Structure 1
Amino acid sequence: MIEFEENHRPLILVTNDDGYDAGGLSVLREIATEFGNVVVVAPDEARSGMSNAITVKLPLFVKQLSHKKGLFVFKTNGTPVDCVKLALNTLLPRKPDLVLSGINHGSNSSSSVHYSGTLGAAREGVLNQINAIGFSLLDYDPNADFSATRPYVRQIIHHVLQHGLPEDTFLNVNMPKGKQLKGIKICRQAKGKWGEEFLEREDPRKQKYYWLTGTFQNLEPQATDTDEYALAQGFVSVVPCHLDITNHSAIEHLKAHFIPTKSKLENE
């Protein structure tokens, strides 16, 4: 069982989907230790695009990589959500005060929220009634420069630790690439989609295989209240995401026009 010398400090769980040795994770881990005791549980290799995937057909292994005052680091062969589940159920001495995921190398704005392993881990935190934040930088370079993002990561972590978040809500934070960021904008998720393309190849045995690629399409480029607009203008975008994906406005419509009542079914 993990034990900390200063148990009065907040307990923070840190994970990601780029792997335990990713630069963004190192930065987030370092900042998190300023606020509390930190346990890092991260995948042993990059597992991007995993969303909320869990491992059910293979055993999971956990290896402790390091331990120093206020910080434990582990890696596992699981997905980002596996990392959170393992931490909550087998590693942590108590329920953490905050789950942090990232800092992802690459954008998770707009519709990418549905595919992202970074945000899958944050969502898993909220599913367990723990405040959670997913951080991403719009730079896929393994050696990306995170220096300009540090003050904003600190500010957002501090706010959530002090004030919490609304029920069933996690934050999707995306940060532009560059040295000069203009500030933070609280905004909504842009409507967008990935224009996907499968590149066809042939292996040495003459068997066809396919490699997924594509480009992102912003479906409302004129909107000025979205994460895509904020990022294009040089702002850090903060989107509050909710667990409940019910379209509440459609319930009455479906009741009235689509789903037959019991009496109608009986008459047929």
Structure 2
Amino acid sequence: MAKAVKAVKAVKAAKKKEKPIILITNDDGVTAPGIRNLIEAVKDLGHIVVVAPDKAQSGMGHAITIGHPLRLSAVNLFEGIEAYQCTGTPVDCVKLAVDKILHRKPDLCLSGINHGANHSINVIYSGTMSAAMEAAIESIPSAGFSLLDYSIEADFTGARKYVRIITELMLKKKLDKHSLLNVNIPAVPESLIKGMKICRQAYAKYEESFLERMDPHSRKYYWLTGEFQNFDKGRDTDVWALENNYVSVVPVQFDLTNYVLKSKLEKSWKQNQ
């Protein structure tokens, strides 16, 4: 009996010593500086596996590839890190990682660090956040990270710091398996970042227009442009936090049900049932 108890304790101790498996992906492509900085921030916190698109996939949202085959190949881009590039979308990367590389669900999925904002309405279009959302749908706690700087030479110092803080908290606090965080970092020197704010998504969007131009063959083409407009004056939003040099952390869900409207319709439409 004593031997059996010791054996059970030994197994539990071994499991505690096992590093968590952390899946890393993005939408800017496997060679983007952002994903390299994400890996650097967390590489000692678990067993890191990278599966990312072989080219930029920004704005792809939750697209999946169904019309043509996907290809997956190992790459040697990050020293000591198992990494693969995929011809598909960010969501494809997560699906393939779970089914064909890990053969199990990782303990955590981190997406990013995106070059550019994914606050407010951007979360709908973001390939970065859709990859993280796909993981959350698959019962994998996840987070998408974005730095408000589109430059290829962006300074990721502050972003790395807060990526690590948030990842350590997610691992320590054992969040719900469907947990999903949208994290945005202001593009200011690390010394000017005031800390983190848990926020709600601001009501803000792009006022869009299409520039009409002519190609060399005298055929019309259109180029999407727009100006970001914040219609939300609340001080508890992601936009406010970022404008005031805070890292914004918005808990996101994939259940899109409008429960307030559902309740109203159940009452007001009852007579028509």
Tell me the TM-score normalised to structure 1 length: 0.91
Give the distance between the partners of 2:20 and 2:226, measured in 1 at CA.
41
Give the distance between the partners of 1:78 and 1:117, measured in 2 at CA.
11
* Structure-2 change in CA distance of 1:68 and 1:217 (3 Å): closer
Give the 5 Å matches for 1:129-208. Answer: 129-166=139-176, 168-179=178-189, 180-208=192-220
Q: How many residues align?
A: 255
Give the letter aligned to residue 236 of structure 1.
Answer: V
Residue matched to 1:246: 257
Contact 1:136 1:173 in 2 (8 A): yes
Residue matched to 2:6: none
* Structure-2 change in CA distance of 1:176 and 1:97 (3 Å): same
Q: CA deviation at 1:256?
A: 2.7
Residue matched to 2:4: none
Give the distance between the partners of 2:239 and 2:112, measured in 1 at CA.
19
Give the distance between the partners of 1:76 and 1:151, measured in 2 at CA.
28
Q: Determine whether 1:118 maps to 2:128.
A: yes
SS of residue matched to 1:82? helix
SS of residue matched to 1:66? coil
**Residue 224 of structure 1, aligned match among 222, 235, 238:** 235
Contact 1:169 1:243 in 2 (8 A): no
Q: CA deviation at 1:152?
A: 1.1
Give the letter aligned to residue 206 of structure 2.
Answer: W
Give the letter aligned to residue 173 of structure 2.
Answer: H
* Structure-2 change in CA distance of 1:8 and 1:67 (3 Å): farther
Give the distance between the partners of 2:78 and 2:164, measured in 1 at CA.
22
* Structure-2 change in CA distance of 1:260 and 1:200 (3 Å): farther
Q: Percent identity?
A: 49
Contact 2:120 2:238 in 1 (8 A): yes
Deviation string, structure 1 residues 54-85 (Cα, Å, up to 9, x no partner) = 01101101110028886211111100000001
Give the 5 Å matches for 1:1-268. Answer: 8-66=18-76, 71-166=81-176, 168-179=178-189, 180-220=192-232, 222-258=233-269, 261-262=272-273
Give the distance between the partners of 2:178 and 2:272, measured in 1 at CA.
32
Q: Once structures 1 and 2 are overlaid, which stretch shifts more, 223-232 or 198-207?
A: 198-207
Give the distance between the partners of 1:153 and 1:105, measured in 2 at CA.
14
Give the distance between the partners of 1:258 and 1:213, measured in 2 at CA.
41
Q: CA deviation at 1:257?
A: 2.4
Give the distance between the partners of 1:191 and 1:124, measured in 2 at CA.
24
Deviation string, structure 1 residues 154-206 (Cα, Å, up to 9, x no partner) = 11000001113245330000000111211011111100111111111112222
Contact 1:16 1:103 in 2 (8 A): yes
SS of residue matched to 1:110? coil
* Structure-2 change in CA distance of 1:196 and 1:8 (3 Å): same
Give the distance between the partners of 1:226 and 1:67, measured in 2 at CA.
37
Give the letter aligned to residue 242 of structure 1.
Answer: Q
Give the distance between the partners of 2:86 and 2:155, measured in 1 at CA.
26
Q: Once structures 1 and 2 are overlaid, which stretch shifts more, 248-257 or 94-103?
A: 248-257
Contact 1:185 1:238 in 2 (8 A): yes
CA RMSD of aligned residues (A): 1.6
